[in-house]
């Protein structure tokens, strides 16, 4: 089942993040799609805060993977924009992160989706105008 949220400003993201995480989750893996500047990292910051993360949450553009902690879990925040092929994704240990049982928030997930063998959530952010964002959350079932 897909869920669609509308964000008129950054102030809406805390509530949207809480709604995305509300109820029993079928997966802790989330992929984020959207054009450059759509708000992927900003939404991930709100999701991390909703999970109780007190760390400084920054874009992992250059580090590729940032790790954050909550009182009861870990969060891996990945930005795979600079990953060029599947072997490079495997070299950074992508599979180990995906199957760690911890939250994985993945920006630019092209190579991650190719090796995902578990169900996951796909979040697509579409920009309409300066501040309006349509955030569509889909649950993707593994084909294996």
- pLDDT in 10s for each residue of the chain, 144 residues: 589 999 988 889 999 999 999 988 999 999 999 999 889 999 999 999 999 999 899 999 889 999 999 999 999 999 999 998 889 989 999 999 999 999 999 999 987 888 887 799 999 999 987 779 999 999 998 765
CATH code, domain with 16: 3.40.50.300
The reported pLDDT for the residue numbered 23 is 82
Element (H, E) at 18: helix 13-21
What distance in Å separates the CA atoms of residue 66 and residue 93, rounded to the nearest whole number?
Answer: 13
Range of the domain at 44: 3-140
**What angle, rounded to 10 degrees, do the helices at 40-50 and 13-21 form?**
60
Q: Give how many domains the chain has, as a whole number.
A: 1
pTM summary value: 0.92
User: 43 with 19: CB under 8 angstroms?
Assistant: no
Task: Give strand pairing partners of 7.
Answer: 133
User: 136 with 3: CB under 8 angstroms?
Assistant: yes
- Which among 32, 29, 33, 71 has a CA at the least distance from the CA of 51? 71
Is residue 7 helix, strand or coil? Answer: strand
Q: Beginning with the edge strand found earlier in the chain, give each strand of the sheet holding 74-79 in spatial order.
A: 3-7, 132-140, 120-128, 29-33, 103-107, 74-79, 65-69
């Amino acid at each position: 089942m897909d869920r669609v949220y509308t964000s008129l400003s950054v102030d809406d993201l805390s509530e949207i993040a809480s709604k995305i995480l509300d109820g029993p989750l079928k997966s802790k893996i989330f992929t984020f799609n959207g054009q450059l500047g759509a708000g992927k990292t900003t939404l991930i910051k709100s999701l991390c805060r909703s999970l109780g993360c007190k760390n400084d949450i920054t874009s992992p553009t250059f580090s590729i993977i940032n790790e954050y902690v909550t009182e009861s879990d870990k969060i891996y925040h990945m930005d795979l924009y600079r990953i060029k092929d599947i072997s490079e994704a495997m070299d950074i240990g992508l599979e180990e992160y995906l199957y760690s049982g911890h939250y994985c928030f993945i920006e630019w997930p092209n190579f991650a989706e190719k090796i995902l063998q578990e169900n996951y959530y796909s979040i697509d952010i579409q920009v309409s105008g300066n501040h309006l964002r349509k955030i569509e959350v889909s649950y993707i079932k593994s084909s294996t």
